[in-house]
Amino acid sequence: MIKQVIFLSLFIPSIAFSATDKPIDNIIYKAIKTPEDIEDIKSRQVKPVAYTHVINLAKLDVKTKKKKFFNMMLPAILISKAQQDQKYQKVSRLNKAESINQQDEKWLADLRKRYRADNNHELMVRMHTHPSSIVLAQSAIETGWGTSRFFVKAMNAFGVWSYNKNEPRVKASETRKGKAIYVKKYASLNETIDDYFVTLGRGPYKKFRQQRLKNTNPLKLIQFLDQYSEIREKYVKRLRSVIKYNKLQRFDEYVLENT
């Protein structure tokens, strides 16, 4: 489980995104009640299924558990990335415009506030996404391959802590220095992944953000995620092992259907 830490001029190369301004309006919302409800991914064109409820995969054998976990998480990752990329393109357009209306200015201001960005240039750096293999590996580690209590009860796939008593959250069984610990509770897998990208966009991961602008090799990028966990370099080694052993880089070529 990570401790989410928020820390308050870089050249951005030309970045090609798969998403367009067309809304992703074919998303299929579905709750998982049994493992059979998790749809198989049969090609690199992934159906946009957004799961709104998950189950504990602990009773499945290892091979089946991993397959179900990937089939469950990958669509949500691709939906989140596509939506993120659409926002990025809008920021890019507005940043180049000679003038913008009040509504768009507020939209930009709200987005800068969420990402702790001082300007639109910095916002674009913080909004950039990274290979799906990294997201899959981190979620596999943090959820114990879809078996942790925080994942089942809160759909928290990345161990993100909560410091706000007014937001949905779940109390951890352990404490820190005698104080209760809480993790955020999400309404869907898409929501937890959206928040994950924000966490990496505004947290103490500046080197990671800089590197992912010019490098798409997950095995090189993960070395800059040592601050994501308290075990530091051991965490990076675990990520590398999960990515290589499960051949997760193959998922970096997967995209949503009809996008």
Residue ranges per structural domain of the chain? 28-256
**Amino acid, res. 143:** T
What is the rounded distance in angstroms from the CA atom of residue 236 to the CA atom of residue 37? 33
**pLDDT value for 175:** 83
Separation between Cα atoms, residue 46 and residue 78, nearest integer Å: 8
Sign of CA dihedral 242, 161, 74, 125: negative
What pLDDT is stored for residue 209 in this prediction? 97
Length reported for the chain: 259
Residue 136 CA to residue 112 CA, distance in Å, equals 27
Q: Which of 55, 7, 70 is CA-nearest to residue 202? A: 7
For residue 192, give the H/E element and its range.
helix 189-202
Q: 149: number of CA atoms within 13 Å, CB side?
A: 8
Q: Please give the model's pTM, rounded to 2 decimal places.
A: 0.88
Helical ranges in 38-181 per DSSP H: 62-96, 102-115, 120-127, 132-143, 149-154
List the beta bridge partners of residue 176.
179
Dump strand ranges (E) for 20-162. 28-31, 45-46, 49-53
Q: What is the pLDDT of residue 6?
A: 31
CB of 155 closer than 8 Å to CB of 257:
no
What fold, for 28-256? Lysozyme (1.10.530)
Q: Are strands 179-184 and 255-256 parallel, antiparallel or unpaired?
A: unpaired
Q: What is the pLDDT along the chain (259 residues), one digit of tens a residue?
A: 444 433 222 333 333 333 334 567 789 999 999 999 999 999 999 999 999 999 999 999 999 999 999 999 999 999 999 999 999 999 999 999 989 999 999 999 999 999 999 999 999 999 999 999 999 999 999 999 999 999 999 999 998 888 888 999 999 888 888 888 899 999 999 999 999 999 999 999 999 999 999 999 999 999 999 999 989 999 999 999 999 999 999 999 999 987 6
